[in-house]
Amino acid sequence: MSIYEKPVLFAVAAAAVISVGTLVTTFIPLFMPSTQPVSPAIRPYNAVELEGRDIYIREGCNNCHTQTVRPLRTEVARYGDYSKPEEFAYDRPFLWGSRRTGPDLARVGGKYPDSWHYQHMSDPQGMFEKSNMPPYAWLAGRRMDTSLAVRKTAVLGYGYGADEVGRQVETFRATVTAPGYLFAQARSRVTPESLRAEITEMDALVAYLQKMGRDLKEFRNKGLAMVQTAEAAEAGNPYAGSKKAEEEGEAIFKANCRSCHGEKGKGGVGPSLEGKKWKYGGTDAALYTTISGGRPGGMPAFEAQLGKDRIWKVITYLRKLGKR
Amino acid sequence: MTGNGQSHAIVKGFTFSAVFWLIVGLVVGLWLAAEMFYPALNIAPWLSFGRLRVVHTNGLVYGFALAGIFACSYYMLEKLTRTPLVFPRLAKAHLYLFNAAILLAALSLFAGLNTSREYSELEWPFDVVVVVIWVMFSINVLGTLVKRREKEMYVSLWFLIAMVVTVAVVYILNNLAVPVSLFKSYSAYAGVNDANVQWWFGHNAVGSVLTFPILAMFYYFLPRSTGVPIYSHRLSIIAFWSVVFGYLWTGAHHLMFTPVPEWIQTVALAFSIFLIAPSWGSVINGYYTMNGNWEQVKTNYLTKFFLLGITFYGLQTIQGPTQALRSLTGLFHYTEWVVGHVHMGTMGWVTMIISASMYYMIVKLSGREIHSEKLAGVHFWLILVGQLMFTVTLWIAGIAQGAMWKATNADGSLAYTFLDSVAAMYPYWQIRFAGGVLYFLGILVFAYNLAMTARPKTAAA
């Protein structure tokens, strides 16, 4: 009897055949670190930004706008740095889109002032004659319903309590409705009188647009090493005194540092690392800053190459050299 | 003749449901096409592009194509097993529930209730209904197969089984979500994984809805309508298993150059190229079947639909993997090129095969000749020319737009603003709209011809 005479067996065989590709390309990746990286630079959406994001979804903005900058030269020139996996850690669902009838928005946050968005969203053709974007002036005429915000942020596991959500909403309301709000004029022009003291759907959407890609930008502006230093100073070396980390650190040193700092840190192109004298300070935080961000005059930055964990291991090894 | 009045009514019911949703979906499509160059048509909020586009895609894939697939599946199932449907009343309930669900689903999308995940936009209560509908259908398919009188299952039945299984797996796994209210939920997956799972679904929705059952129709209705048996049984075996195996690996070719891990993209690309072989296995099987019988393209009004249909399938399955190549996707992706690609598959392959299959079934079920072979010819030429005008225009538009995005000045700065690339599209969008109108006229001729063929005999007398 062949399989072509047994429908149930055939169905089972078909299920087995389709499950191979499924397992390899979708199921197993669910558990790989490369598909779910986290970064201290990226923060979850606050309650208002999340509501704005839901408006973006409701209106189907993703049908015309993408949210991924590809690592192609002209694309980076047009939109900004290419997208990184960790930037989407809080995105449920993802909103990368598949068609650019309008431009990519992954880096739109902070690119224009709020007033630009209020005006553009209300009347795209008024700003760009040849634009074919639908006008969304009507969003400013709708009060933002935040009644589900607590539930939403809870489902998404953003870690806000009801108090925190209430505070975020109220802070935002107070900001955009204040007479001194920098963009009060532009906002009032599009928002009906009756809603000027409240959060509108337009306000929330603008808040979301301004959040997009902004975390990474701000993180960069502060300087990667600075943030890492602050963290490092606070946390200290997690491997301090560990013999095992010292050995691993030695191996990392040999592969990455020896070429300049010499065998066992005796010095070469770069300065000797023996003894307790450090050009840029000998605290954990200072050493971390030097290695992760580099120093002028030849010390390269190793943050991208080594990552936090391995940098701490090297520091553990350096402490051993320092005892000599 | 196997089958009974009950199942005939169900097949007819699904056939005309499909035609109805086809017309609705195309009207929406024309409206969208006009919005591209005439944005004042974005009447807020229900008719704004962002909401309307999902009504178009869902309406045509799940309203038109699925209804057509259900009609042909029930028909082929009875014929190929020489057994009546085991649960005709379940099939009848399936027909009513299906149409009610599509109507409510369309309204929900108009109202902005959507998950944003492409071809999977319906919110969770509708997902539950879809699963129920699928179970109803599957019970009849597998039940009838188990009870069948014909010992060996023909290749069309393999594709039906593959569809039943694959749709169930990809639909359920992709739609896992946590509800926050009756009409709002958040995906169970985040970021990179959400994208990867979603396009694994997106691609296999195309595979299991717009490929497997359409191939089932091709393998059944081509030999039935021409009287020539399929060229090679062995080739269809090889083509079947390799298509079913290969399809599931390729979702990430929709995600080239995104933050999805590079190895997943590369594996998807490799399998996409591999898929050309089995896809063309079916194309060649079709061509060789007609070897020595090519005069039927002229003499038999159905043959040209099947042959042009399978030709567009062949072109589609070459164009798809090609445009996924990294060097080409860098130029084509996110432009109108891809929209052109999709529409060759749907307007060329899917609709050609489904409409020809419907002519065949309705002629058989109504027990009379087709109302007008001449009108079927008009229908054929209008949808062929309309589709080509539509797709070729968008391919040129896509190349133009992609090139504008990439163009640089001597100092390396960008040559065009984004808006320049929008402004350049207007003439293409207008020609595309005209192509869509021609196509729509062809479909109206089809609907009229089919309805006249199916009208009750008493009325005709």
List per-residue pLDDT tens for chain A, 324 residues long: 689 999 999 999 999 999 999 999 999 999 998 998 888 889 999 999 999 999 999 999 999 999 999 999 999 999 999 999 999 999 999 999 999 999 999 999 988 889 999 999 999 999 999 999 999 999 999 999 999 999 999 999 998 999 999 999 999 999 999 999 999 999 999 999 999 999 999 999 999 999 999 988 777 766 655 656 666 667 789 998 899 999 999 999 988 888 889 889 998 878 899 888 888 888 888 898 888 878 876 787 787 678 888 899 999 999 988 776
Q: CB of A157 within 8 Å of any CB in chain B?
A: no
Instruction: Answer yes or no: are the C-beta atoms of A299 and A269 closer than 8 Å.
Output: no
**Residues of B with Cβ-Cβ distance to A102 under 8 angstroms:** 418, 422
**Residues of A with Cβ-Cβ distance to B257 under 8 angstroms:** 68, 70-72
On whether residue A56 sits in a domain, the answer given is: yes
Can you give the pLDDT at residue A301? Answer: 77
Instruction: Answer yes or no: are the C-beta atoms of B385 and B396 closer than 8 Å.
Output: no
Q: Are A151 and A291 contained in the same domain?
A: no
Give percent above pLDDT 90 in chain B.
95
Full residue range of the structural domain in which residue A17 is found: 3-31
**Residues of B with Cβ-Cβ distance to A99 under 8 angstroms:** 334-335, 338-339
Examine the fold and report which residue of A200, A220, A240 is the final residue of a domain before the chain moves on: A220
Q: Are A188 and A106 contained in the same domain?
A: yes
Minimal Cα–Cα distance from B327 to chain A, Å?
Answer: 11
Could A60 and B49 be called an inter-chain contact, meaning their C-beta atoms sit closer than 8 Å? yes
On whether residue A102 sits in a domain, the answer given is: yes
Instruction: Answer yes or no: are the C-beta atoms of B116 and B57 closer than 8 Å.
Output: no
**Residues of A with Cβ-Cβ distance to B116 under 8 angstroms:** 57, 60, 62, 93, 95
Q: B97-132, pLDDT tens digit by residue? A: 999 999 999 999 999 999 999 999 999 999 999 999
Among chain B residues, the shortest Cα distance to A156 is held by: B186
Q: Are A178 and A258 contained in the same domain?
A: no
What mean pLDDT is reported for chain B?
96
**Residues of B with Cβ-Cβ distance to A18 under 8 angstroms:** 162, 165-166, 169, 244-245, 247-248
**Residues of A with Cβ-Cβ distance to B54 under 8 angstroms:** 60, 63
Q: Are A68 and A19 contained in the same domain?
A: no
On whether residue A36 sits in a domain, the answer given is: no
Could B113 and A58 be called an inter-chain contact, meaning their C-beta atoms sit closer than 8 Å? yes
Q: Are A133 and A146 contained in the same domain?
A: yes
**Residues of B with Cβ-Cβ distance to A138 under 8 angstroms:** 44-45
Dihedral over Cα of A278, A281, A284, A286: its sign: negative
State the Cα–Cα distance between residues B108 and B412, nearest whole angstrom: 47
Can you give the pLDDT at residue A323? Answer: 77
Break chain B into its structural domains and give their ranges: 5-460
Minimal Cα–Cα distance from A238 to chain B, Å?
Answer: 30
On whether residue A211 sits in a domain, the answer given is: yes
Can you give the pLDDT at residue A223? Answer: 63
On whether residue A61 sits in a domain, the answer given is: yes
Asked whether residue B460 carries a pLDDT value surpassing 90, the answer given is no
On whether residue A40 sits in a domain, the answer given is: no
Q: Roughly how many angstroms between the first and final C-alpha of chain B, as a whole number? A: 24
Can you give the pLDDT at residue A233? Answer: 64
Instruction: Answer yes or no: are the C-beta atoms of B428 and B400 closer than 8 Å.
Output: yes
Could B169 and A87 be called an inter-chain contact, meaning their C-beta atoms sit closer than 8 Å? no
| Chains A, B: CB pairs < 8 Å | 252
Among chain A residues, the shortest Cα distance to B255 is held by: A98
What are the backbone angles phi and psi of residue A99, rounded to the nearest 5°? -145, 135
**Residues of B with Cβ-Cβ distance to A32 under 8 angstroms:** 261
Domain at A91, CATH number: 1.10.760.10
* Least trusted range by pLDDT, from A92-96, B241-245, B457-461: B457-461
Q: B287-303, pLDDT tens digit by residue? A: 999 999 999 999 999 99
Q: Tell which residue, A89, A86, A92, has the closest CA to residue A155.
A: A92
Among chain A residues, the shortest Cα distance to B117 is held by: A93
Interface probe for B, chosen from A9, A35, A36, A68 (most Cβ of B below 10 Å), is A35
Of B112, B180, B245, the CB nearest to A59: B112
Between A261 and B36, the higher pLDDT residue: B36
- Number of domains composing chain A: 3
State the Cα–Cα distance between residues B32 and B58, nearest whole angstrom: 14
Q: Are A144 and A18 contained in the same domain?
A: no
Look at the domain B5-460 and name its fold: Cytochrome C Oxidase; Chain A (1.20.210)
Instruction: Answer yes or no: are the C-beta atoms of B302 and B360 closer than 8 Å.
Output: yes
Among chain B residues, the shortest Cα distance to A22 is held by: B248
Instruction: Answer yes or no: are the C-beta atoms of B405 and B346 closer than 8 Å.
Output: no
Could you tell me the pLDDT band of residue B458, with boundaries at 50, 70 and 90? Answer: low
Between B428 and B44, the higher pLDDT residue: B428
Task: List, in sequence order, the alpha helices (H) in B60-190.
Answer: 66-81, 88-110, 124-146, 155-174
State the Cα–Cα distance between residues B142 and B148, nearest whole angstrom: 10
Q: Are A251 and A142 contained in the same domain?
A: no
Q: Tell which residue, B446, B441, B341, B328, has the closest CA to residue B394.
A: B341
Minimal Cα–Cα distance from B381 to chain A, Å?
Answer: 30
Using CA atoms, how far residue B362 sits from A203, B75, B356, B357, B448, in Å, is 55, 10, 10, 9, 13
Q: Are A7 and A153 contained in the same domain?
A: no
Mean of pLDDT values over B339-364: 98
Can you give the pLDDT at residue A250? Answer: 94
**Residues of A with Cβ-Cβ distance to B115 under 8 angstroms:** 57, 93
Q: B377-409, pLDDT tens digit by residue? A: 999 999 999 999 999 999 999 999 999 999 999
Between B461 and B34, the higher pLDDT residue: B34
Among chain A residues, the shortest Cα distance to B109 is held by: A58
Minimal Cα–Cα distance from B324 to chain A, Å?
Answer: 13
Q: Are A216 and A106 contained in the same domain?
A: yes
Could B114 and A60 be called an inter-chain contact, meaning their C-beta atoms sit closer than 8 Å? yes
Among chain B residues, the shortest Cα distance to A30 is held by: B193
Type of residue numbered A127: M
Can you give the pLDDT at residue B408? Answer: 92
State the Cα–Cα distance between residues B451 and B167, nearest whole angstrom: 31
What are the backbone angles phi and psi of residue B175, rounded to the nearest 5°? -95, 10
Q: Are A121 and A192 contained in the same domain?
A: yes
Interface probe for A, chosen from B258, B263, B406, B429 (most Cβ of A below 10 Å), is B258
Between B420 and A296, the higher pLDDT residue: B420
Of B51, B165, B197, the CB nearest to A26: B197
Minimal Cα–Cα distance from B64 to chain A, Å?
Answer: 21
Could you tell me the pLDDT band of residue B461, with boundaries at 50, 70 and 90? Answer: very low
On whether residue A37 sits in a domain, the answer given is: no
Mean of pLDDT values over B325-349: 97
- Cis preceding linkage at A192, omega within 30: no
Mean of pLDDT values over B252-257: 97
Could A21 and B158 be called an inter-chain contact, meaning their C-beta atoms sit closer than 8 Å? no
DSSP 3-state of A318: helix
Q: Are A118 and A258 contained in the same domain?
A: no
Q: Tell which residue, B30, B172, B44, B131, has the closest CA to residue A58.
A: B44
On whether residue A297 sits in a domain, the answer given is: yes
Of A20, A97, A132, the CB nearest to B422: A132
**Residues of B with Cβ-Cβ distance to A93 under 8 angstroms:** 115-117, 186-187, 189, 194, 198
Interface of A with B in 14-73 (CB under 8 A): 14-15, 17-22, 24-26, 29-30, 32, 34-36, 54, 57-64, 66, 68, 70-72
Q: Are A51 and A16 contained in the same domain?
A: no
